[in-house]
Structure 1
Amino acid sequence: MPADQIHLVRHGEVFNPQRVLYGRLDGYGLSELGRQMAQAAADDLASRGRPVAAIVASPLQRTRESAAPIEHAFGLEASIDPRLIEPENRFEGKRMLGEQSALKDPRNWRHLVNPWRPSWGEPFRSISTRMLAAIDDAWRAADGGDVVLVSHQLPIWMVHRALAGASLPHDPRKRRCALSSITTLERRGDRFVEVDYRDPAAPLSASATDVGAV
């Protein structure tokens, strides 16, 4: 029997004192606030009283650390699926805001020629395709219950837009995918549909820094 619901959980705040776009770079784990956010997501999932059959995480440090309190809440060990990873980005390690913004350096402008693809990283269609494949495999592999997938903002947002039939190119300032948020899907017939969105870490967000997402 496949899964009942799929919960897409974004990681919590990352320790990023230089405020760079960290992308897939090593060494970017959760801050103390990020750990509290991850715990809020785990508490929300546990409070629903729904059985969780499996937990799957992106291989990056921040998602594995965000999966830890969910693992503890349900007594499960997360598996790793590289398809849940953050997209590649040519601006990794660079500041994107302020006087030292990489966007102000003419040497970087060649990476900005096509925001609809986008020209600075993995194509939007590639992101949505791999994410939907990972979701479908996780749904089929479950023996009933729910599955939790811990991933990143842009991959989760690509799933949202793909399922809504919206254009994948978008304004990144308008993404509805907060730190440690939970986007829930169900299978209806031959497709997935989004049935819920929650932001359990909202009370912590006022003091959070979220500048490193792709």
Structure 2
Amino acid sequence: MARIHLVRHGEVDNPEGILYGRLPNFGLTERGHEMARRVGEHFATASAPPVELVCSPLLRAQQTITPLRQRLELPVFTDDRVIEAANFFEGQQVNARRLSEPRNLLRLYNPLTPSWGEPYRQIVLRMQAAMASLRAKLAKHGPEAEGVIVSHQLPIWMTRRAGEQRSLVHDPRKRECDLASITSFTFESSTLVSVSYESICADLQPGQAVAGA
């Protein structure tokens, strides 16, 4: 059975605490680079190392996959479909005062879609399409090949909830998707048979919630 691992990027250097979203030039902190090294070690020493690597175009994701690329000496395919979710509040410090501003309040009318960003269903569809493309590549390596996609918290969490047939509407504070964590999807042919989660950098997580994702 083929497996695809969705890996969240490592910790981002964001001293101003803004919602960086798809903004360029947000790279990893020193701790984030340590998380990336651990991701590389984890997969490079696995019994079945990945044979295909895919990554979001954003800097923090590209830096996270670099140690793994170097360890396995594999090319990385950059796929725009696994990029961070679009968000109206990108570039702002998201707090109660900012959210209460009239221009921002207009965006908060429907948390089910959500009205302030890319629709949850749209995120799932593009992530699933990227995973289907990766499964087609993995099939060329054999029925039990594995691949890695480095992406972002919300796209990974939405894909997991869809895979587990749960509602896409959720409390963002309760997402199970640590920095540099691994959410794995096992397929038999094109059928998803299981989803699992592992936080390989639990000891490196920051002490408070991270702005952006």
State the TM-score, normalizing by the size of structure 1.
0.92
Q: Deviations over 1:161-209 (max 9, x none)?
A: 1011111111111100100001111113542244421111111114576
**8 Å CA contact 2:52, 2:137 repeated in 1:** no
Q: Does 1:160 align with 2:160?
A: yes
SS at match of 1:45: helix
Establish whether residue 32 from structure 1 lines up as the match of residue 39 from structure 2.
no
Q: Is the 8 A contact 2:160 2:195 kept in 1?
A: no
Question: 2 CA distance for matches of 1:69 and 1:208?
Answer: 26
Distance 1:175 1:8 in 2: 15
Deviation, 1:5, is 1.1
Q: Give the corresponding residue for 1:42.
A: 40
3-state SS, counterpart of residue 140 of structure 1: helix
Per-residue CA deviations over 1:133-160 (Å, capped at 9, x if unaligned) read: 1001101112222110000000000110
Distance in 1, matches of 2:186 and 2:107, equals 37
| Equivalence map 1:46-195=2 (5 Å) | 46-97=44-95, 101-142=97-138, 143-144=140-141, 145-188=145-188, 190-195=190-195
Residues 18-46 of structure 1, C-alpha deviations (whole Å, 9 max, x = no match): 00000000111111111111111221222
- What is the rounded CA distance, in whole Å, between the counterparts of 1:46 and 1:58 in structure 2? 20
In the alignment, is residue 7 of structure 1 matched against residue 5 of structure 2?
yes
Change in 2 beyond 3 A, CA 1:208/1:38: farther
Q: Secondary structure at the match of 2:205?
A: helix
Tell me if structure 1 keeps the 8 A contact 2:9–2:152: yes
Task: Give the 3-state SS of the residue equivalent to 2:192 in structure 1.
Answer: strand
Name whichever of 33-42 and 58-67 sits farther off.
Answer: 33-42
* Worse-matched range after superposition: 49-58 or 120-129: 49-58
Cα separation, 2, equivalents of 1:194 and 1:61? 30
In 2: Cα distance, 1:91 partner to 1:30 partner = 21
- Is contact 1:160–1:194 with CA below 8 Å preserved after alignment? no
Identity %: 43
Secondary structure of 1:48's partner? coil
Any stretches of 5+ residues in structure 2 without a counterpart? none
The alpha-carbon deviation at position 49 of structure 1 amounts to 2.0
Query: Which whole-Å deviations, capped at 9, do the CAs of 1:113-139 have from their partners, x for residues lacking one?
Result: 001000011100000000001001101
Q: Tell whether the 8 Å contact from 1:87 to 1:121 is kept in structure 2 after alignment.
A: yes
Match of 1:198 in 2: 198
CA distance in 1, matches of 2:212, 2:92: 9
Q: Provide the C-alpha distance between the structure 2 equivalents of 1:211 and 1:57, rounded to a whole number of angstroms.
A: 21
The number of residues matched between the two structures is 209
Q: Is the 8 A contact 2:43 2:49 kept in 1?
A: no
Q: How far apart, CA to CA, are the structure 2 residues paired with 1:107 and 1:137?
A: 39
Shift of 1:105: 1.7
Answer whether contact 2:18 2:211 (CA < 8 A) is retained: yes
Separation in 2, partners of 1:85, 1:189: 26
